[in-house]
Amino acid sequence: MINPEDNKSTPFIPRTIDYEPPHDLSHFLIGRPLATADAPHQTIGKAVGLAVFASDALSSNAYATQEILAILAIAGMRGFAYVFPISIAIVLLLIIVSISYVQIIHTYPDGGGAYIVARDNIGEMSALIAASSLLMDYILTVSVSISSGVAQIVSAFPDVFEYRVYIAIVAVIFVTLINLRGVKESGAAIAIPSFMFIIIMFVTLAVGMIKYLTGSLGAVIDPPELIHATGALTVVTPFLILHAFSSGTAALTGIEAISNGITAFKEPRSKNAGITLIWMAVILSSLFLGISFLSGKIFAVPSEFETVISQMARTIFGGQGFFYIAVILFTTIILILAANTAFAGFPRLSALMAKDGFLPRQLTYRGSRLVYSRGIVSLAVIASLLIIFFQASVTRLIPLYAIGVFLSFTLSQFGMALRWWKCGHIKPGAELVERSSTLHFDPHWKLKMIANGFGALCTAIVMLVFAVTKFEDGAYIVLILIPVLVAILWLIHRHYSGLAKNLSLENYGEPPPYMGRHRVIVPVSNLHQGTLAALRYARMLSDDVTAVHVSIDPDETKRVEKKWEAWGKATRLVILASPYRLFLEPLLGYIEEIIAARQPNEMITIVVPQFIPSKQIFNALHMQTAEMLRKELLSKPGVVVTDVPYQVL
């Protein structure tokens, strides 16, 4: 129990009172609140981290090889010979990008990935471009992965087609709720299916390799119909290989996530996050290479009717038995869970940006379960709107996807290359302190710079190929949206920094004195208990009270004057004749004349009686005078509009 009187005796020493929240429904949905002091216990280890942050990257195994095959099919069967070499090239790029991100994780242990790297090493604009691309891609990850998961369900049960949007929204809500419960619990929820996917895929590849080495593998029986574009080219052109390479780099999406989420890991968090990223890269590369290799050996074909994974699984396991079904089931689950990676990355990135003043500050708020709940909910809402707008169509959503990822890869690697260049120019033993890291001389700076520069070049090429080949299918939307997003982020930042400058107490000098004339104006349309309550309040604020009556109906005014004699307690009453029956305008005119004539340091308070009806809907039956006055007078310094609530009924 707080006794407010306690404070009176100790006016200078701040007192601290603790607050414990009561129980409510949200505890059932997302669990009991976690105190801020619990934060260190709400971190995850490497294994759970792999499940939380790698599901997006791992899920790309479900389609990356097929994407390469689909492009190469344009040159007919002879193109398929290039699948494995292209896959090796993609894995090399994956290794460069992964190494680059491991370095980023160690350099920036508070998280941030491309946004922080670009901010610290290139400049604010590049940081905003990287951030816009990433935010957009996280949103698309949710929409695309949920929609593709639902598409898998729809192909199994065609009857639910017309409910696909509802199913997708329910899936989004489900993923949102497990994420609102906290990173530890969402990790626990998705760890098992993620590891099941990894295990079943390795089993499949191992069995396949053994059968291949023993010569018992064979080819796909009854291969499905090829996709339409087959054989349009008679030779394999370099551009075709480049195009196939770009499509295959879909395998790289999701690598960024861990670098945004370092703070979710147990200490030593950089080390744990870095090791997790290496694990992820190794698993991803092996699965991808294995699938690409075996798919060539069994002569799998890209088709609209059967996935390459399905062809491979039934060829390796010799039919549609238990293992085949397990492969298909966990592939579907991992596609839906890929959304979880975005739920782990987006709120953390947006909180980092909000802290820098590029997004609404509210996004830095951690909810009762210590996660950035407003970021999670924002992501869910925007992704759901996209799903509704595109009617959960993967075909229409996918062209928007991946450009942003590769734009951010390019910027982060280019930023790291610049950083190595700087490291090469520091005197050995000296150090250069920058915004969020310290630079030392690195004897291998040239090699590192070349590696990251080459990585940046590769990812830039991939991005350009994406932009060109998918332009008409929707990539142009991305090319419009990124500048728009950058402009919005910049405007938000300008607002916050201008505000901070204006509010700063540095160089503020002495504030105006606490004393000064305080004039109070009470608009009075009628005299009743509500008016008297307002009048009493006004008299408590100041001795200088003027009541103002706008006279629209002379008879009414006479009644008010008469009542005033009885109840007005000698308070000054000014009557504003309004021959044109206007109410607000004469009142505002009067107030503005008083403002114009005021003394320095004078405050003016407008006290308005306000009825509080029992039901809010009845507010429509009353003029919202206080609201209207406040809106009109907001821009006048030194004028305060106060409504004195009067509870009726």
Q: Site residues for a second copy, window 333-372 (CB under 8 A)?
A: 360-362, 365-368
Exactly one of 438, 502, 555, 600 binds a second copy (CB under 8 A); that residue is 502
Residue ranges of the alpha helices (H) in 317-402? 322-355, 373-389, 394-397
Closer CB to a second copy, 305 or 365, in the complex: 365
How near is the Cβ of 619 to a second copy at its closest, in Å?
A: 10
- The position carrying tokens 């404070």 is 7
Q: Does 266 bind a second copy (CB under 8 A)?
A: no
**642 interacts with a second copy by CB under 8 A:** yes
CA distance 56 to 58: 6
590 near a second copy (CB under 8 A): yes
* Type of residue found at 26: S
Please identify, among the stretches 327-335, 434-442, 453-461, 526-534, the one whose residues bind a second copy according to the rule CB under 8 A: 526-534
585 part of the interface to a second copy, by CB under 8 A:
yes
Check binding of 427 to a second copy (CB under 8 A).
no
Smallest distance, a second copy to C-beta of residue 30, A: 13
Rounded to the nearest whole angstrom, what is the least distance from the CB of residue 590 to a second copy in the complex? 6
325 interacts with a second copy by CB under 8 A: no
Q: Tell me how far CA of residue 460 lies from CA of 12, 132, 317, 359, in angstroms.
A: 60, 17, 40, 27
Number of residues lying near a second copy (CB under 8 A): 111
Instruction: State the helix-helix crossing angle for 238-248 and 445-469, rounded to 10 degrees.
Output: 100
Using CB under 8 A, pick the residue from 289, 329, 611, 632 that binds a second copy: 611
- Interface residue with a second copy, options 508, 522, 523, 556 (CB under 8 A): 508
What are the two backbone dihedrals, phi and then psi, of residue 214, each rounded to the nearest 5 degrees? -85, 0
Phi/psi region, residue 551 (left: phi>0; alpha: psi -120 to 50; beta: rest), is: beta
Q: Rule CB under 8 A: is residue 15 a binding residue for a second copy?
A: yes
Q: Which listed range, 2-10, 78-86, 111-119, 178-186, lies at the site for a second copy (CB under 8 A)?
A: 2-10
Q: Three-state DSSP class for 173?
A: helix
Among 110, 431, 499, 556, the residue binding a second copy under the rule CB under 8 A is 499
Q: What residues from 547 to 566 belong to the interface with a second copy (CB under 8 A)?
A: 549, 551-553, 561, 563-564
Residue 584 touching a second copy (CB under 8 A): no
**Can you give the length of the chain in residues?**
649
Residue (20 or 162) nearer to a second copy, CB: 20
CA distance 386 to 366: 25
Rule CB under 8 A: say whether 433 interacts with a second copy. no
Residue 432 in the binding site for a second copy (CB under 8 A): no
444 binds a second copy (CB under 8 A): no
What residues numbered 528-547 form the site for a second copy, per CB under 8 A? 528-530, 532, 536-537, 539-542, 546
In the complex, minimum distance from the CB of residue 551 to a second copy, in angstroms, rounded to a whole number: 7
DSSP for 597-614 reads TPPTT-EEEEEEEEEE-S
In the window 449-468, what residues touch a second copy (CB under 8 A)? none
Whether the CB-CB separation of 133 and 405 falls below 8 Å is answered with yes
What is the C-alpha end-to-end distance of the chain, expressed in Å? 31
- 16 versus 216: smaller Cβ distance to a second copy: 16
Alpha-carbon distance of 209 to 216, in angstroms, equals: 10
Distance in angstroms (rounded) separating the CA atoms of residues 333 and 335? 5
Nearest CA among 23, 45, 41 for reference residue 33: 23
- Does 155 help bind a second copy (rule: CB under 8 A)? no
Q: Does 637 bind a second copy (CB under 8 A)?
A: yes
**Tokens standing for 215?**
């010569």
Nearer to a second copy, 78 or 355 (CB): 355
What is the C-alpha to C-alpha distance for residues 290 and 287, in angstroms, rounded to an integer?
5
**DSSP code at position 517:** -
Tokens 């114009």 sit at which residue? 596
Of 12, 28, 157, 322, which one interacts with a second copy (CB under 8 A)? 12
Contact between 623 and a second copy by CB under 8 A: the answer reads: yes
> Which of 335/522 has CB closer to a second copy?
522
Among 234, 505, 555, 600, binds a second copy (CB under 8 A): 505
Task: For residue 439, give the nearest of 429, 449, 454, 451 by alpha carbon.
Answer: 429
Closer by beta carbon to a second copy, 243 or else 374: 374
159, 228, 581, 600: which one binds a second copy (CB under 8 A): 581
Rounded to 5°, the CA angle 525-528-531 comes to 65
Pick 55 or 531: Cβ nearer a second copy: 531
377 binds a second copy (CB under 8 A): no
For residues 27-46, which are near a second copy according to CB under 8 A? Answer: 33-37
Among 125, 122, 112, 95, residue whose Cα is nearest residue 454: 95
Q: Helix 269-297 vs helix 46-59: angle between axes, to the nearest 10 degrees?
A: 40
**φ/ψ (deg, to 5) at 266:** -65, 155
CB of 227: closest distance to a second copy in angstroms?
42
Binding a second copy (rule: CB under 8 A), the pick from 621, 625, 628, 632 is 621
Q: For a second copy, which stretch binds (CB under 8 A), given 226-234, 389-397, 479-487, 604-612?
A: 604-612
Tally the C-alpha atoms within 13 A of residue 25's C-alpha that lie toward its C-beta: 0
Q: What angle do CA 145, 146, 149 make, to 5 degrees?
A: 85
DSSP string, 444-476: THHHHHHHHHHHHHHHHHHHHHHHHHTIIIIIH
Please tell me whether residue 649 binds a second copy under the rule CB under 8 A.
Answer: yes
Q: Is 238 in the site for a second copy (CB under 8 A)?
A: no
